Amino acid sequence: MVLIGKEEDERGCALVLKDGESAEVIHFDNLRGLRYCEVFLICDTGWGFYNTLGLNNEKDPRDTCPESIMVNFSTGAVKEQYNVPNVSLNPPRYFVIDGGDIPVAPKVRDFDGLEARWMGNVQPDAAFGKTPYMPTKVERKSELFFEKGKPVFILDDPTGTAWVMKSYTDFVDKNLKYENLETLNKKLKLPPGWSYRVKVLDQDLILRPFKGVARIVQDELQNVYDALDEGTSNYKP
């Protein structure tokens, strides 16, 4: 069946591009420790990701990806619902950033009962997430903020590049909590030349993509870090 009119606009990979075109930058504060998840609509032209930030839980706004919804969530149902080649769920995560200026589409979409809004398109490397400590590039327009006086959690690679954690997850290690990040090096199996450290910031740290591109990496617990490459941060802690 060929969909026409409004129905056609609300299904298929075209809607990802449509949502991105209408996005406006919104400033978010008080993000550290907030739980969220992301739905990826996977198309040949890239992946559109939809974030649950600010949605799904009026009783507890700090948990935007509640188990009461996730227990019945089906990527297969979303694939059929939106008529896209594939769908992926980024499992529940917790922000380590304190704030951000993030492009957000005004349209709130329903994904098998989970509400989320478009927040970007990415073209991840096929190996990303499968091979820890293997960097990849993502297109991004958002700016991320870490506040002075708070800790940041940093990987240093053999080339001298520092990677600052922006989110962690208990998807792999069910016992991982924010307070465990201080001693995460005891859990990680770091490759030769890599190290982990904690730094309390003596000034605000701002991350911004260089020419619209950022580099990210995951550890074996699927925590995500951004590279502090030249031009991507106001300083290197």
pLDDT at 177: 97
DSSP sequence for 39-94 = EEEEETTEEEEEE-TT-S-SS-TTBSS-HHHHTT--HHHHHHHHT-SEEEEEEEEE
Residue 188's φ and ψ, nearest 5 degrees, are -80, 145
**Residue 1 pLDDT more than 80?**
no
CA nearest neighbour of 119 among 132, 137, 100: 100
Q: What is the pLDDT of residues 216-233, one digit of tens each?
A: 999 999 999 999 998 999
Q: What is the pLDDT of residues 71-95, one digit of tens each?
A: 999 999 999 999 999 999 988 999 9
Q: What is the pLDDT of residues 119-131, one digit of tens each?
A: 988 776 655 556 8
Q: What is the pLDDT of residues 17-30, one digit of tens each?
A: 889 899 999 999 99
Kindly indicate the confidence band of residue 64, based on its pLDDT and cuts at 50, 70 and 90: very high
As a whole number, mean pLDDT of residues 173-177 equals 96
Q: What is the pLDDT of residues 18-62, one digit of tens each?
A: 898 999 999 999 999 999 999 999 988 788 999 999 999 889 999
Query: What's the number of CA atoms in the CB half-sphere (13 Å) around residue 19?
Result: 26
pLDDT at 138: 81
* Percentage of the chain exceeding pLDDT 70: 93
Q: What is the pTM of this model?
A: 0.91
- The domain limits of the chain are 5-122, 136-227
